[in-house]
Amino acid sequence: MDGIPQSVVSITDPTYLDYEYTRHIARAMDAAAEPGAPLFTVHLGAGALTLARYIEATRAGSPQLVVEFEPDLYAAVIAALPLPPGSDVRVIFGDARTVADAPLPNETPSPVPPSPSPGLGAAETTGRPATDTDWVDACFTVVDLWDAAVVRHRVASLEFYRRVAARSAAAGVVAVNLIDGHPFDYSRRQAATLRTVFDHVAVVLDAEPEDEEGPLGNVVIFASDAPLDIVTTPEILGTPRPHFLHDGPLTSWIADARIMTDADGTDSPDPDDPIWA
């Protein structure tokens, strides 16, 4: 998208994951339920359905829900790389914030004005159409919402994460994929925000957190109201183990970073900014 690589898919082995951040998330998915057991997974941002294909390969028939803003992209991906027969992947075409803000049962409508979004009939797909009411009690939610190479603040705010939490199961895990670099001002604010919403938060960094000349890279934040498996069993992250922050070290890393709200949030760092050259 706009010259930025978005996804890598192996056409022979859907469990092969090229990007490190996808491997971190997949290992957390592996630990989220007994091997082979169904795992209701929500993907905010579909890309090429890399992690949806991973779930289908490792937990065949698991119910999955995709929220994707670009119906033509989704249709092109499905046409080029069809999902395996028997996959239970439902799709909502629309803006993830608008979908998240839709009222759950017994809720009044959100005061946040909706953004324009494509209609459900905008493209033919092999996924089964869904509605916002299908996004309830998610066991694992992947927040991977990019506008080419930038994450917009309206899908990275306290208000947004509260809606993601409201749609998660009691012990559901949320994995947020971000981009940042030293001094990680953006990611520290994101961690502070997620800590306001969830009881347990951990950060996985592939870059050296103290390297002042380090490159821009992926940062994955895991959050849940239940203890995180990657904290209780850190060996699931594999080797070489990435930099891993939780509990006291995470508190020190966050320091005085402010939570992000709709009113004062910022977009993620732009790779085209000269400071990252």
DSSP state of 147: B
Tokens of residue 162, six digits: 């509260």
Domains of the chain plus CATH, in order, are 20-276 (3.40.50.150)
Residue 125 confidence (pLDDT) above 50: no
Range with lowest mean pLDDT among 95-104, 118-127, 193-202, 254-263: 118-127
Q: pLDDT digits over 182-238, tens only? A: 999 999 999 999 999 999 999 999 877 777 777 788 999 999 999 999 999 999 988
Residue 153 to residue 137: CA distance in whole angstroms: 24
Residue 37 to residue 230: CA distance in whole angstroms: 19
Instruction: Say if residues 238 and 230 touch (Cβ distance below 8 Å).
Output: no
Tell me the whole-structure pTM to 2 decimals.
0.91
Instruction: Say if residues 223 and 173 touch (Cβ distance below 8 Å).
Output: yes
Query: Strand (E) positions, the chain?
Result: 41-44, 63-68, 88-93, 128-129, 138-143, 168-180, 200-205, 217-224, 243-246
Give the mean model confidence (pLDDT) for residues 232-247.
Answer: 89
For residue 103, whether the previous peptide bond is cis, meaning omega lies within 30 degrees of 0, is: no
Sign of CA dihedral 129, 221, 174, 41: positive
Residue 161 to residue 100: CA distance in whole angstroms: 9
Residue 16 to residue 23: CA distance in whole angstroms: 9
If DSSP states are collapsed to H, E and C, what string results for 158-222? HHHHHHHHHCEEEEEEEEEEEEECCCCHHHHHHHHHHHHHCCEEEEEECCCCCCCCCCCEEEEEE
DSSP state of 141: E
Residue 79 to residue 82: CA distance in whole angstroms: 6
Q: Specify the pLDDT at position 11.
A: 86
